Amino acid sequence: MYSDPNSVKRIASIGAGPIGGGWTAHFLARGYDVTAYLHDKSEEKSFISILKTAWVSLTELGLAQGASMDRLRIAARNQAAIILRNGKNLTPIHHYWIFNFRANDE
């Protein structure tokens, strides 16, 4: 039923508040590529501030190999509907989704 965590390559986070920002920072620190879908472009500045604040603590705790905030991609909320409709092997985690893409899906 659930994807094998070792096969997950990309994480999508929908929403840019403290919870979405915290999960995004966590997955970036674990070395995943993350696409964050914001409700509105005006949220980007505060979202980046949340990530930078969390990154300080995550760095002290220890980052996984390949961890980088450069692995973040920010997209508009309306793009999330397209990915959720066309995605494969979606595993729900609260209101977040883990995407398990095959190499030829990208």
Q: Residue 70 maps to which CATH number?
A: 3.40.50.720
Q: Which residue has the tokens 């994807």?
A: 3
Q: Give the pairing type, strands 10-14 and 96-99.
A: antiparallel
- pLDDT band of residue 99 (cuts 50, 70, 90) is very low
Rounded-to-integer distance, Cα 69 and Cα 74, Å: 11
Classify residue 2: in a domain, yes or no: no
Q: How confident is the model at residue 103 (pLDDT cuts 50, 70, 90)?
A: very low
For residue 92, the enclosing domain spans 7-105
CB 19 within 8 A of CB 103: no
Q: How many domains does the chain have?
A: 1
Is the residue at 27 inside a domain? yes
Residue located via tokens 């390949």: 66
Answer whether residue 8 shows pLDDT above 70.
yes
pLDDT for 53 equals 96
The values of phi and psi at residue 52, to 5°, are -65, -40
